[in-house]
Amino acid sequence: MSGLELFAAALGVIAVWLTVKQNPWCWPIGLVMVLVYSWIFFEVKLYSDMLLQVIYAALQLYGWWQWTRAGDAHHGREVSRLGKHAVVSGLAIGAACSLLLGAAMAHWTDAAQPWLDAFLTAFSLVAQWWMAQKRLQCWPLWIVLDCIFVGLFLYKGMYVTAALYGLFTLLAIQGWRSWRSDPVLCP
């Protein structure tokens, strides 16, 4: 555990809590968090997670734009649901990317957990894309992924980050409950 890991974890809690509250400040705070975590994951040889953080940086900017500028009147997106086809397509893309990234990491790097790390990376990108678009289905996917992340980080001895992802799981449950009751989704 390092001071840098504690700092990143604190930013993560703030960013996810703001996401649950649909506050667009979640995105710039999240941007700082993912940049710090990219270095942390490099140090522990979780290269897919490091790559994920770099991609998250771009998605943080996209999400910030989506939540503040997109929409009919440029006032940001409203919470919405994905159709079944879009959910299946997103999950299929996640699975394909997971296999490709896992094979690359297993073959060309000394990654600590190439297949699990790749799985979590690919599906986290799907969840983050859905979150940036304020899709309700991001939350159940985050719940599953965060639980698996807890196990990975415990295995790697990253106890603060494991606790953070445990808290992320609870916040994701709250986010799912909160967004499901959003007036835009209610008939």
Contact 51, 108 (CB under 8 A): no
Tokens standing for 38?
A: 């990219």
What is the distance between the alpha carbons of residues 78 and 70, in angstroms, rounded to a whole number? 10
Mean pLDDT per 10-residue section of the chain, whose length is 187 residues: 86 92 93 94 84 90 85 68 96 97 91 90 94 93 97 90 92 93 66
Q: 162: which residues sit within 8 A by CB, 6+ positions away?
A: 149, 150, 153, 154
What is the distance between the alpha carbons of residues 158 and 96, in angstroms, rounded to a whole number? 28
Contact 147, 169 (CB under 8 A): yes
pLDDT of residue 185: 65
Tokens standing for 62?
A: 């996209």
pLDDT of residue 187: 47
Tokens standing for 131?
A: 């979150």
**131 domain residue, yes or no:** yes
**186 domain residue, yes or no:** no
On the 0-12 / 13-18 / 19+ scale of CB atoms within 10 A, 149 is: buried
What is the distance between the alpha carbons of residues 142 and 161, in angstroms, rounded to a whole number? 15
On the 0-12 / 13-18 / 19+ scale of CB atoms within 10 A, 14 is: middle
pLDDT of residue 51: 85
Q: 62: which residues sit within 8 A by CB, 6+ positions away?
A: 132
pLDDT of residue 170: 96
**187 domain residue, yes or no:** no
Please count the structural domains in the chain. Answer: 1
**32 domain residue, yes or no:** yes
**119 domain residue, yes or no:** yes
**17 domain residue, yes or no:** yes
pLDDT of residue 35: 95
What is the distance between the alpha carbons of residues 141 and 91, in angstroms, rounded to a whole number? 10
Average pLDDT, the chain: 89
User: Structural domain of residue 89, as residue ranges?
Assistant: 3-180
pLDDT of residue 75: 59
For 7, how many CA atoms within 13 A lie in the half-sphere containing its CB?
11
pTM listed for this prediction? 0.83
